[in-house]
Protein backbone atom coordinates (compact mmCIF):
# COMPACT_ATOMS: atom_id res chain seq x y z
CA UNK A 1 0.00 0.00 0.00
CA UNK A 2 2.86 2.38 0.80
CA UNK A 3 4.34 1.84 -2.68
CA UNK A 4 1.00 2.79 -4.28
CA UNK A 5 0.82 5.95 -2.22
CA UNK A 6 4.36 6.91 -3.13
CA UNK A 7 3.68 6.35 -6.85
CA UNK A 8 0.58 8.52 -6.64
CA UNK A 9 2.60 11.20 -4.84
CA UNK A 10 5.34 10.95 -7.49
CA UNK A 11 2.75 11.48 -10.22
CA UNK A 12 1.24 14.45 -8.37
CA UNK A 13 4.65 16.03 -7.76
CA UNK A 14 5.72 15.53 -11.38
CA UNK A 15 2.45 17.02 -12.62
CA UNK A 16 2.78 19.96 -10.24
CA UNK A 17 6.27 20.72 -11.53
CA UNK A 18 5.30 20.40 -15.19
CA UNK A 19 2.05 22.38 -14.87
CA UNK A 20 4.05 25.10 -13.15
CA UNK A 21 6.86 25.09 -15.73
CA UNK A 22 4.84 24.67 -18.92
CA UNK A 23 1.23 25.35 -18.03
CA UNK A 24 -1.67 22.94 -17.88
CA UNK A 25 -2.52 22.82 -21.59
CA UNK A 26 1.08 22.39 -22.73
CA UNK A 27 1.71 19.43 -20.41
CA UNK A 28 0.86 15.93 -21.59
CA UNK A 29 0.13 12.85 -19.51
CA UNK A 30 3.12 11.18 -21.20
CA UNK A 31 5.41 13.95 -19.93
CA UNK A 32 3.98 13.58 -16.43
CA UNK A 33 4.59 9.82 -16.50
CA UNK A 34 8.12 10.34 -17.79
CA UNK A 35 8.95 12.92 -15.11
CA UNK A 36 7.48 10.64 -12.40
CA UNK A 37 9.36 7.67 -13.86
CA UNK A 38 6.19 5.58 -14.08
CA UNK A 39 4.24 4.08 -16.96
CA UNK A 40 1.58 6.26 -18.57
CA UNK A 41 -1.02 3.70 -17.46
CA UNK A 42 0.02 4.31 -13.86
CA UNK A 43 -1.08 7.93 -14.16
CA UNK A 44 -4.47 6.74 -15.39
CA UNK A 45 -4.61 4.15 -12.61
CA UNK A 46 -4.73 6.96 -10.06
CA UNK A 47 -6.44 9.69 -12.09
CA UNK A 48 -9.16 9.44 -14.73
CA UNK A 49 -7.76 12.40 -16.65
CA UNK A 50 -5.19 15.15 -16.63
CA UNK A 51 -7.94 17.49 -15.47
CA UNK A 52 -8.73 15.33 -12.44
CA UNK A 53 -5.01 15.18 -11.59
CA UNK A 54 -4.76 18.98 -11.81
CA UNK A 55 -7.82 19.43 -9.64
CA UNK A 56 -6.72 16.94 -7.00
CA UNK A 57 -3.36 18.70 -6.67
CA UNK A 58 -5.11 22.04 -6.17
CA UNK A 59 -7.74 20.77 -3.74
CA UNK A 60 -5.23 18.76 -1.73
CA UNK A 61 -2.89 21.72 -1.32
CA UNK A 62 -5.65 24.11 -0.28
CA UNK A 63 -7.21 21.57 2.09
CA UNK A 64 -3.83 20.98 3.74
CA UNK A 65 -3.36 24.72 4.21
CA UNK A 66 -6.84 25.11 5.70
CA UNK A 67 -6.25 22.25 8.15
CA UNK A 68 -2.91 23.74 9.19
CA UNK A 69 -4.47 27.17 9.78
CA UNK A 70 -7.48 25.77 11.65
CA UNK A 71 -5.18 23.73 13.90
CA UNK A 72 -2.76 26.55 14.65
CA UNK A 73 -5.34 29.24 15.44
CA UNK A 74 -6.52 27.07 18.32
CA UNK A 75 -3.09 27.46 19.96
CA UNK A 76 -3.49 31.19 20.68
CA UNK A 77 -6.15 33.10 22.58
CA UNK A 78 -6.68 36.49 21.00
CA UNK A 79 -8.29 37.35 17.69
CA UNK A 80 -5.39 39.58 16.59
CA UNK A 81 -2.93 36.75 17.17
CA UNK A 82 -5.19 34.36 15.26
CA UNK A 83 -5.34 36.73 12.28
CA UNK A 84 -1.55 36.98 12.41
CA UNK A 85 -1.35 33.20 12.14
CA UNK A 86 -3.80 33.17 9.21
CA UNK A 87 -1.81 35.79 7.30
CA UNK A 88 1.59 34.29 8.08
CA UNK A 89 0.56 30.74 7.15
CA UNK A 90 -1.00 31.88 3.87
CA UNK A 91 2.11 33.85 2.93
CA UNK A 92 4.38 31.01 4.00
CA UNK A 93 2.27 28.66 1.88
CA UNK A 94 2.66 30.95 -1.15
CA UNK A 95 6.43 31.17 -0.67
CA UNK A 96 6.93 27.45 0.00
CA UNK A 97 4.56 26.27 -2.74
CA UNK A 98 5.20 28.57 -5.67
CA UNK A 99 4.39 25.82 -8.17
CA UNK A 100 0.97 25.40 -6.57
CA UNK A 101 0.54 29.18 -6.54
CA UNK A 102 1.22 29.24 -10.29
CA UNK A 103 -1.28 26.43 -10.78
CA UNK A 104 -3.84 28.33 -8.71
CA UNK A 105 -3.53 31.26 -11.08
CA UNK A 106 -3.95 28.96 -14.06
CA UNK A 107 -6.92 27.19 -12.48
CA UNK A 108 -9.16 30.07 -13.42
CA UNK A 109 -8.65 29.04 -17.05
CA UNK A 110 -8.84 25.28 -16.56
CA UNK A 111 -11.93 24.46 -14.59
CA UNK A 112 -15.07 22.43 -14.82
CA UNK A 113 -18.25 23.52 -13.07
CA UNK A 114 -17.72 20.84 -10.41
CA UNK A 115 -14.20 22.09 -9.73
CA UNK A 116 -15.45 25.69 -9.48
CA UNK A 117 -17.94 24.52 -6.89
CA UNK A 118 -15.23 22.69 -4.92
CA UNK A 119 -12.96 25.75 -5.01
CA UNK A 120 -15.90 27.91 -3.92
CA UNK A 121 -16.51 25.61 -0.93
CA UNK A 122 -12.85 25.78 0.08
CA UNK A 123 -12.92 29.58 -0.17
CA UNK A 124 -16.11 29.63 1.92
CA UNK A 125 -14.36 27.52 4.58
CA UNK A 126 -11.53 30.05 4.74
CA UNK A 127 -14.01 32.93 4.89
CA UNK A 128 -15.99 31.22 7.65
CA UNK A 129 -12.83 30.66 9.69
CA UNK A 130 -11.67 34.27 9.30
CA UNK A 131 -15.21 35.59 9.95
CA UNK A 132 -15.35 33.60 13.17
CA UNK A 133 -12.00 35.02 14.28
CA UNK A 134 -13.24 38.55 13.57
CA UNK A 135 -16.50 37.84 15.39
CA UNK A 136 -14.53 36.59 18.40
CA UNK A 137 -12.41 39.74 18.20
CA UNK A 138 -15.55 41.87 18.34
CA UNK A 139 -16.79 39.91 21.36
CA UNK A 140 -13.46 40.27 23.19
CA UNK A 141 -13.30 43.98 22.41
CA UNK A 142 -10.29 43.83 20.10
CA UNK A 143 -12.28 44.98 17.05
CA UNK A 144 -15.00 47.57 16.50
CA UNK A 145 -18.51 46.36 17.22
CA UNK A 146 -19.91 47.80 13.97
CA UNK A 147 -17.81 45.58 11.69
CA UNK A 148 -19.52 43.18 9.31
CA UNK A 149 -17.53 40.00 9.67
CA UNK A 150 -18.01 38.44 6.21
CA UNK A 151 -17.00 41.51 4.17
CA UNK A 152 -14.00 42.01 6.46
CA UNK A 153 -13.00 38.36 5.94
CA UNK A 154 -13.28 38.84 2.17
CA UNK A 155 -11.11 41.97 2.36
CA UNK A 156 -8.43 40.19 4.38
CA UNK A 157 -8.42 37.17 2.08
CA UNK A 158 -8.11 39.51 -0.91
CA UNK A 159 -5.21 41.36 0.71
CA UNK A 160 -3.43 38.07 1.38
CA UNK A 161 -4.01 36.89 -2.20
CA UNK A 162 -2.44 40.09 -3.52
CA UNK A 163 0.84 38.96 -1.95
CA UNK A 164 0.89 35.69 -3.87
CA UNK A 165 4.44 35.78 -5.31
CA UNK A 166 3.01 35.04 -8.75
CA UNK A 167 0.90 38.22 -8.58
CA UNK A 168 3.68 40.59 -7.56
CA UNK A 169 7.42 40.85 -7.87
CA UNK A 170 8.72 42.69 -4.83
CA UNK A 171 11.28 41.13 -2.57
CA UNK A 172 9.68 41.85 0.81
CA UNK A 173 10.40 39.10 3.28
CA UNK A 174 7.52 37.10 4.72
CA UNK A 175 7.46 38.94 8.07
CA UNK A 176 7.34 42.35 6.34
CA UNK A 177 4.47 41.23 4.12
CA UNK A 178 2.49 39.92 7.08
CA UNK A 179 3.12 43.09 9.09
CA UNK A 180 2.09 45.26 6.14
CA UNK A 181 -1.18 43.39 5.59
CA UNK A 182 -2.05 43.34 9.28
CA UNK A 183 -1.15 46.99 9.79
CA UNK A 184 -3.47 48.14 7.01
CA UNK A 185 -6.22 45.65 7.85
CA UNK A 186 -6.25 46.25 11.59
CA UNK A 187 -5.57 49.99 11.63
CA UNK A 188 -6.73 51.20 8.22
CA UNK A 189 -4.97 53.75 6.03
CA UNK A 190 -6.33 56.97 7.51
CA UNK A 191 -4.18 59.23 9.68
Does this chain's domain 1-47 share its CATH topology with 49-187?
A: no
Task: List, as own/partner pairs, every contact residues 20-23 make where C-beta atoms lie below 8 angstroms and the sequence separation is at least 24, other chains included.
Answer: 20/98, 20/99, 20/100, 20/102, 20/103, 23/106
| Pairwise CA distance, residues 74 & 162, whole Å | 26
Dihedral over Cα of 91, 92, 95, 101: its sign: negative
| Averaged pLDDT of the chain | 85
What would the CATH number be for the domain defined by 1-47?
1.10.10.60
Each residue's pLDDT tens digit, 22-58: 888 889 999 999 999 999 999 999 999 998 998 898 8
Q: How confident is the model at residue 187 (pLDDT cuts 50, 70, 90)?
A: confident
Nearest to 164 by CA among 61, 49, 13: 61
Each residue's pLDDT tens digit, 113-132: 888 888 889 999 999 999 99
Contact at 8 Å (CB) between 103 and 57?
yes
pTM above 0.75, yes or no: yes
Quick one: pLDDT at residue 96?
79
State yes or no: pLDDT of 14 exceeds 70. yes
| Pairwise CA distance, residues 135 & 112, whole Å | 34
Domain-wise residue ranges, the chain: 1-47, 49-187
Quick one: pLDDT at residue 5?
57
Taking CA 115 as the corner, what is the angle to CA 39 and CA 24, rounded to the nearest 5 degrees? 45
| Pairwise CA distance, residues 36 & 180, whole Å | 40
* For the ranges 152-161, 167-176, 182-191, the one whose mean pLDDT is highest: 152-161
What would the CATH number be for the domain defined by 49-187?
1.10.357.10
Number of H helices, E strands in the chain: 9, 0
Which one has a higher pLDDT value, 177 or 61?
A: 61
Which one has a higher pLDDT value, 111 or 139?
A: 139
Nearest to 156 by CA among 120, 183, 174: 183
Quick one: pLDDT at residue 100?
74
State yes or no: pLDDT of 1 exceeds 50. no
Amino acid sequence: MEEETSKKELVMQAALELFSEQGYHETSVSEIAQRAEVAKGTVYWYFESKEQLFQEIMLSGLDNLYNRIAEQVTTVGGAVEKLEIVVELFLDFFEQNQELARMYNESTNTVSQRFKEQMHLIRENYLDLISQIISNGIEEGSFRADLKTEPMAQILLGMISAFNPICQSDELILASKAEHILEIFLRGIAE
